[in-house]
Amino acid sequence: MKVFTTLGREKKEFVPQEAGKVKMYVCGVTLYDECHLGHGRAYVAFDVMRRFLESRGYKVIYVQNFTDIDDKIIKKSQEEAKEEKEIPGKIKEIVARYKEAYFRVMDQLNIKRADIYPCATDHVSCMIEMVGKLVEKGFAYEKGGDVFFSVEKFPSYGKLSGKNLEELLPGARVGKDEKKKNPLDFVLWKSAKPYEPSWDSPWGKGRPGWHIECSVMSMEYLGETLDIHGGGEDLIFPHHENEIAQSESYTGRPFARYWIHNGFVKISGEKMSKSLKNFFLLRELLEEFDPRVLRLYLISTHYRNPLDFQIENIKSVANSWQRIEEACLKAEEMLGGEKVEKLPATLYFKNFQQAMEDDFNTPRALGALFDLVGELNRRLSRGEKDAETFSLYGDLKEMLDILGFPLPQREHLSPELEKLIQQREEARKNKNWAEADRIREILKSKGILLKDTPQGTVWRRF
Ligand SMILES: [Zn+2]
């Protein structure tokens, strides 16, 4: 199995440190806002990798952090608080609000929960210890309550991003209130302003910088060398470059064996981001589209390629999903309940697996899946209930499981909900829009989303 690593930019045979075990760390979100499609893309991509590795028999330990202290969170709390003394309480409230929002959308996308979700504020004492060691070893220095990492002390700085100091320096500036010796030095510990949350440290009251949290928390749960360190392409520089510099200076060992980065989601050629204000929130997209369709849309592009976002494309993926769903429902009706022994994998499954072994090539894997669906449909329509048909259906279920799709099942609503949908139909016929909307909201509060189509009203759970 081959995996592309950003460090050295090459596909490498995948060999974890310990046989049968994969230690995986993926950078998580900063809890100050809702997730957009770019976040969905990243976490679906890493979820598929994890599921595939698990299907290959690896025990995967997956750790993903939450950044719960940071400039953006503090800024948001200032905007929402009426007085300075409310800020610490506000921060707690904001962090809890967006953590809940994160799980709501990621659970809908059927992303498996991480084994551990460490939060930065629970690990500050370990961060202070690591920063202290870096100062002691001469890699970092303190100035006026701030501590900086000195990039000149780490000769291979730039090895991940392919940037070098000579090239970076001319563009870098030292801000007016900064105390760095070299403009490329980065902060490990920040002195806190009076109203900000702070921790006691050898350098006075302060709080950790962003980069240090990932180094400390990944090592805490996974050890000094990770098998896979992942994140969005935008984290390569400076975040992951800085993580390497501080971690490897601290331990004297390689920090991660494989650096995996997913590509951007783009809109009209530009990166989808908060700062460009051109983002689509996952919450909103999930009200419009079936989460399985959105998931299928996201993995239809290879994770390293940019994904050019167009609503129209999601709609066409909806038809593809319907093909999968119909094949499953029909197969279940014809073959379900009948016991068959495990049959050898079909050629389609072998192609699927080969594609996934080639740096998690999901578009190619989906090609094999759709070929299988075509063949399965042909056999089902001819009423062929033989071993080959059973094999095809068995393989389809396994492929769907690896890609993170729950097996489609015919769903039924309770009579009470059915009745509400009928009442709404009545209201619509009588052009009583207010009543129709009222019933729609009731259903939504019960987890049922309605969509009015030319063929009638359809519902789904969300
Ligand atoms: Zn990180």
Is the pLDDT score of 342 beyond 70? Answer: no
Identify the residue whose tokens are 């052009």.
Answer: 431
Alpha carbon of 195 to ligand 1 centroid (Å): 26
Alpha carbon of 240 to ligand 1 centroid (Å): 7
Alpha carbon of 143 to ligand 1 centroid (Å): 25
Per-residue b/e over 248-267, b at no fewer than 16 CB within 10 Å?
bbbbeeebbbbbbbbbbbbb
Average confidence score pLDDT of the chain: 93
Alpha carbon of 217 to ligand 1 centroid (Å): 9
Report helix, strand or coil for 73. Answer: helix
pLDDT in the model for residue 270: 83
Strands 146-149 and 186-191: antiparallel
Backbone φ and ψ of 177, nearest 5°: -95, 15
CB within 8 Å of 27: residues ≥ 6 apart: 64, 65, 214, 230, 231, 232, 235, 239
Nearest to 375 by CA among 362, 394, 361, 388: 388
Alpha carbon of 406 to ligand 1 centroid (Å): 30
Nearest to 243 by CA among 177, 154, 326, 314: 154
Identify the residue whose tokens are 């990798």.
Answer: 49
pLDDT in the model for residue 341: 67
Alpha carbon of 116 to ligand 1 centroid (Å): 14
pLDDT in the model for residue 176: 58
User: Quick one: average pLDDT of 317-325?
Assistant: 94
User: Quick one: average pLDDT of 92-114?
Assistant: 98
C-alpha span between 297 and 304 (Å, rounded): 15
Instruction: List the 256-262 sheet strands across, edge first.
Output: 59-64, 21-26, 226-232, 256-262
Secondary structure (DSSP) of 113-156: PPSB--BGGGGHHHHHHHHHHHHHTTSEEEETTEEEE-GGGSTT
CATH class entry, domain 320-410? mainly alpha
Nearest to 237 by CA among 184, 180, 304: 184
Identify the residue whose tokens are 């709080």.
Answer: 207
Alpha carbon of 229 to ligand 1 centroid (Å): 9
Q: Which residues surround ligand 1, an ion (CB under 5 A)?
A: 27, 214
pLDDT in the model for residue 168: 80
Identify the residue whose tokens are 């952090």.
Answer: 65
Helix or strand run (H / E) with residue 188:
strand 186-191
pLDDT in the model for residue 275: 77
Alpha carbon of 120 to ligand 1 centroid (Å): 11
pLDDT tens, residue by residue, 130-187: 999 999 999 999 999 999 999 999 999 999 999 988 888 777 766 655 789 988 999 9
User: Quick one: average pLDDT of 293-313?
Assistant: 96
Alpha carbon of 105 to ligand 1 centroid (Å): 21
Strands 59-64 and 140-143: unpaired
pLDDT in the model for residue 410: 82
pLDDT in the model for residue 268: 81
Backbone φ and ψ of 405, nearest 5°: -105, 125
- Exposed, middle or buried: residue 423 (CB in 10 Å: 0-12, 13-18, 19+)? middle
Alpha carbon of 231 to ligand 1 centroid (Å): 7
Strand partners, 88: none
Torsion of CA 279, 285, 286, 289, to 10 degrees: -150
* 246 or 172, higher pLDDT: 246
Strands 146-149 and 265-267: unpaired
Is the pLDDT score of 454 beyond 80? Answer: no
Alpha carbon of 198 to ligand 1 centroid (Å): 21
* 107 or 267, higher pLDDT: 107
pLDDT in the model for residue 66: 98
Query: What are the Cα distances from residue 330, in Å, to 324, 386, 407?
Result: 10, 15, 12
pLDDT in the model for residue 309: 93
pLDDT in the model for residue 269: 81
Classify the C-alpha dihedral 351-352-356-360 as positive or negative.
positive
User: Quick one: average pLDDT of 68-73?
Assistant: 95
Q: Are 211 and 117 in contact (CB under 8 A)?
A: no
Alpha carbon of 27 to ligand 1 centroid (Å): 4
* 268 or 385, higher pLDDT: 385
> What does the block give as tokens for 125?
């004492």
Is the pLDDT score of 225 beyond 60? Answer: yes
Alpha carbon of 434 to ligand 1 centroid (Å): 47
The CATH number corresponding to 2-266 among 3.30.300.30, 3.40.50.620, 3.40.50.2300, 3.40.630.30 equals 3.40.50.620
Backbone φ and ψ of 36, nearest 5°: -105, 180
Alpha carbon of 122 to ligand 1 centroid (Å): 16
Alpha carbon of 257 to ligand 1 centroid (Å): 16
Query: What are the Cα distances from residue 66, in Å, to 96, 214, 232, 261?
Result: 11, 10, 15, 18
Alpha carbon of 236 to ligand 1 centroid (Å): 10
Q: Are 234 and 176 in contact (CB under 8 A)?
A: no
pLDDT tens, residue by residue, 22-66: 999 999 999 999 999 999 999 999 999 999 999 999 999 999 999
* Alpha helices in 336-432, H assignment, sequence order: 347-357, 362-381, 387-403, 415-429
